[in-house]
Amino acid sequence: MSAIVASGVSKTYRNGVQALRDVSLAVERGEIFGLLGANGAGKTTLVKVLLDLVRPSSGTTSLLDVSSRRTAARRRVGYLPEDHRFPDYHTAQSALLFYAGLSGVAPSAARPRAESLLSEVGLDDVARSKVRGFSKGMKQRLGLAQALIAEPDILFLDEPTDGIDPVGRAQIREMLEAQRRAGKTIFLNSHLLSEVEQLCDRVGILSRGQLVRVGTVAELTQTDRSLQVTLSQPPGDALVGELARAFGTARASGGCNVDLVLERDEQIDAVVDFLRARGIGLRGLSSKRQSLEEVFLDSVKAGGPAPAAPDANASPDANGAGASR
């Protein structure tokens, strides 16, 4: 049973912006799934559709096998929206107790949980201070705590480390790792590719509302039979020419390195034999990978420019989305 399922989801806002186009996706239980996309690609809309904050034009979504349209689907869900705002009359503690109450957690159970979470996110010293005096980083930490207060099975996090210093980011990554170890499913929207690379089991790339790539980081960054060969000496043009004639594509890539593109995996042995036969020492042999950033940029370029996001300050009647994307 998948934790999160989106099936053929499309969303066109009332102002005509097509935010999602036939997105299908399944996130397994206990998995950390990272969603990448340029601004306006539809990442937030997809999360909002999954949480029923935005109603899809077509398609269906479910959480833990319960249709997102049903209130019960959100019973075991925690959500940290991008640019979230807490009512400024709350203290850190009262805010957590309030959100716990909305999730149906009794105050007696919520109180110790809130204290523990505030301690985990480093806000225990300001637990009784009003939120209005908090910095952006403190609010972000509190946001993460509110997402975790009801001990959810699925976490939707939209830019969870936004505005947080590197030390805080490391702490949050550690918290998310702990959630993964506890078997929780995490759906992560982030611009920080390094964060996604470190945390996520699988990554999806959304471009112009379409899910263009999905896979593990290793799968996405793997290029087809590209091989980097490190020699004992810099390759001359003659050697590169011979390699090209023997195996197809070859080019010097600086220093003692030669990049090869093979047609079949079996050709790797032939390459080794080829070099040994010419008395050339072999210092290294690795399959060549793209960085996640390169994969992301390639995918976005292939998808074309992203549509303009609706104006965040637009009148609510001007479009159906407000600034929800």
71 binds other proteins (CB under 8 A): yes
Smallest separation, CB 204 to other proteins (Å): 20
- Residue 14 to residues 53, 74, 76, 317, 324, Cα–Cα distance (Å): 15, 26, 31, 9, 13
Please state, in angstroms and rounded to a whole number, the distance separating the CA atoms of residues 285 and 147.
Answer: 45
104 binds other proteins (CB under 8 A): yes
| Stretch 81-100 residues interacting with other proteins (CB under 8 A) | 81-87, 89-90, 94, 97-100
Smallest separation, CB 25 to other proteins (Å): 19
Nearer to other proteins, 134 or 156 (CB): 156
Q: In 3-state terms, what secondary structure has residue 53?
A: coil
Q: Report how many residues bind other proteins under the rule CB under 8 A.
A: 46
Contact region for other proteins (CB under 8 A) — 47-55, 191-199, 249-257, 261-269? 47-55
100 close to 149: Cβ distance less than 8 angstroms = yes
| Stretch 243-282 residues interacting with other proteins (CB under 8 A) | none
- Residue 283 to residues 229, 232, 258, 272, 311, Cα–Cα distance (Å): 8, 6, 12, 11, 55
69 binds other proteins (CB under 8 A): no
122 binds other proteins (CB under 8 A): no
Strands (E), the chain: 2-12, 18-28, 32-37, 58-63, 66-67, 77-80, 154-158, 185-189, 202-207, 210-215, 222-231, 249-252, 257-261, 282-289
Smallest separation, CB 165 to other proteins (Å): 22
79 binds other proteins (CB under 8 A): yes
Contact string (CB under 8 A) for other proteins, positions 7-26, x = contact: ------x-------------
**Residue showing tokens 């929206």:** 81
**55, 136, 251, 301: residue in contact with other proteins (rule CB under 8 A):** 55
SS (H, E, C) 86-126: CCCCCEHHHHHHHHHHHCCCCHHHHHHHHHHHHHHCCCHHH
Nearest CA-CA partner of 42 in 307, 294, 317, 311:
307
Q: Is 255 left (phi over 0), alpha (psi -120 to 50) or beta?
A: left
134 binds other proteins (CB under 8 A): no
**146, 171, 189, 190: residue in contact with other proteins (rule CB under 8 A):** 146
Question: Alpha helix (H) ranges present in 74-216?
Answer: 92-102, 107-120, 136-148, 166-181, 193-199
Q: Residue 19 is encoded by which pair of tokens? A: 């935010």
Contact region for other proteins (CB under 8 A) — 116-124, 234-242, 291-299, 311-319? 311-319
Contact region for other proteins (CB under 8 A) — 73-81, 161-169, 217-225, 263-271? 73-81
Nearer to other proteins, 293 or 311 (CB): 311
3 binds other proteins (CB under 8 A): no
323 binds other proteins (CB under 8 A): yes
**38, 51, 117, 205: residue in contact with other proteins (rule CB under 8 A):** 51
Give the interface with other proteins as residue ranges (CB under 8 A).
Answer: 13, 48, 51-55, 71-75, 77-79, 81-87, 89-90, 94, 97-107, 146, 156, 312, 316-317, 320-324
